[in-house]
Structure 1
């Protein structure tokens, strides 16, 4: 038996309103998992100076304060994917 904490129904695309599995048609909870698991797509929150296109450039709004791990209102992604 394998342990799959990240594969719970709460992280699955097949979970619909009312905590119901659209594949199996049953109500599920946090500890449920199955082999039909499909991970939900999610945005990653990695907005800090290191991932900013302006870091260590003349366009940086706060060059004296900018450092790895810090974030600001002028953050812009280095690469955008759709």
Structure 2
């Protein structure tokens, strides 16, 4: 099964910082989607210990070395929804 980014408002270039849709002039959240969706040019991609769900947890593969800014092959996104 592949994982894809859907037409979620959080990935649309028409959304402002306050989760306001400039196309429809309404407040939205990351569960909204529409046919006017236009993908942002660049998504936030900051894989490091601070953004890893395993940081400071028992499941961390490198608990003695883990630090903000570090990246390892066991990185898992902090906020992921299926």
TM-score, length-normalised on structure 1? 0.47
TM-score, length-normalised on structure 2? 0.47
Determine which structure has more spread, i.e. the larger CA radius of gyration: 1
